Amino acid sequence: MFPLSPQYRGYFLTTLAAAAVSVFFIIYKKGLETTTPDVFTLAMYVVGFVILFLGNRLKKEKIQLNKTTFWGGVIFALLSVLGHIAIGKSLEGVGPSITTVILRTQIILVMFLGWLILKEQLNRFLLPGAIVAIAGFIWMNYNGEQKNFAELPFYLWGFCAALCFGVSQVMVKAIIHKINPIIMNLLRSFFGMLALSSFPGVFSALLELTMIEWTLAGGAALFGPTLARILQMYALRYIPVSQAILFSMLTPVFTLLMSWFLLKIFPSSQQLLGAGIILAGVMIPIVHLTKSKKTTL
């Protein structure tokens, strides 16, 4: 009826991805109540691999590999494993809404790498935005006592995840027209399983998971590594990586609302203010980018 232009198609896909990621965070947080991040991530990859494999078989498509897809899948798997474990470590100490805010700071890294590697326009307000975002981190951890920064390790884990997924976004954008996103994710799940299974005690702990834990892992796999990641990959076929990561800023909003209604978790006023400062720092280069685009029209 009203076909979307390629640009708005990319916006629509990446918005759906942001909503799916918010559901993933809620389920992931629930799963970590009884399991460790590495075990839960392995269970999530196992279910994700089965979903992708069965989906590919139902479509009756042959799994065609090329060198770019293979090595891209290996690197993507390593970054994803580290990123998901880092998310789990972060969620052990802070709520999902805070972790997602920290993850959104990857836009600063993505904009820089997009300029350096993909030759996308570099925003001159990048550094001021980063400084403001760091101020937000400091405020979120400050409690007016000498033993402050108690939650700093959980924020650093969130930043580690942001680094992993930011690099992944740029890498995928660089090769997106040479790969099949579904096959790429299938390989990522497979190599991710191999990597996590090599961790001492992880595979044996996997066999001891309850049906509820497997169900949570399945839900996380469906909305996170499977649905959200594939939607984001297809979005990168239509829009620059900096624009795709910009729309992922909607994830903290979705997660905050779902955490409030589903988990009854609401951040403190100090955390909200710190999160607001971080978002303001991230928005500084975005607003400038939007204005500069309007003046060129």
- Whether residue 17 is contained in a domain is answered as yes
Answer positive or negative: Cα dihedral of 252, 258, 263, 269: positive
For residue 8, the model assigns a pLDDT of 77
- Whether residue 1 is contained in a domain is answered as no
- Half-sphere CA count of 291, side-chain side, radius 13 A: 9
Neighbours of 70 (CB within 10 A): 14
- Whether residue 89 is contained in a domain is answered as yes
For residue 85, the model assigns a pLDDT of 84
- Half-sphere CA count of 30, side-chain side, radius 13 A: 20
Number of domains present in the structure of the chain: 1
Predicted confidence (pLDDT) per residue in 24-52, tens digit: 888 888 888 888 888 998 999 899 899 88
- Half-sphere CA count of 228, side-chain side, radius 13 A: 22
User: What is the widest separation between alpha-carbon atoms in the chain?
Assistant: 62
- Whether residue 261 is contained in a domain is answered as yes
Domain that holds residue 275: 6-296
For residue 43, the model assigns a pLDDT of 92
- The amino acid sitting at 83 is G
DSSP secondary structure of the chain: --PPPHHHHHHHHHHHHHHHHHHHHHHHHHHTTTS-HHHHHHHHHHHHHHHHHHHHHHTT------HHHHHHHHHHHHHHHHHHHHHHHHHTTS-HHHHHHHHHTHHHHHHHHHHHTS-PPPPTTHHHHHHHHHHHHHHHH--SSTT--TTHHHHHHHHHHHHHHHHHHHHHHHHGGGS-HHHHHHHHHHHHHHHHHTSTTHHHHHTT--HHHHHHHHHHHIIIIIIIHHHHHHHTTTS-HHHHHHHTTHHHHHHHHHIIIII-----HHHHHHHHHHHHHHHHHHHHHHHHHHHH-
What whole-number distance in Å separates Cα of residue 281 and Cα of residue 195?
Answer: 35
Tokens 């979005």 locate to 235
**40 and 32 Cβ atoms separated by less than 8 Å:** yes
Predicted confidence (pLDDT) per residue in 62-109, tens digit: 666 788 888 888 898 889 888 888 988 888 887 776 777 787 778 778
**The tokens of 142 are what?**
């400050």
Mean pLDDT, each 10-residue run in order, the chain (297 residues):
68 86 84 88 90 78 77 88 86 75 79 82 70 74 55 86 90 87 86 88 90 93 88 86 73 70 72 76 68 52
**141 and 155 Cβ atoms separated by less than 8 Å:** yes
**155 and 90 Cβ atoms separated by less than 8 Å:** yes
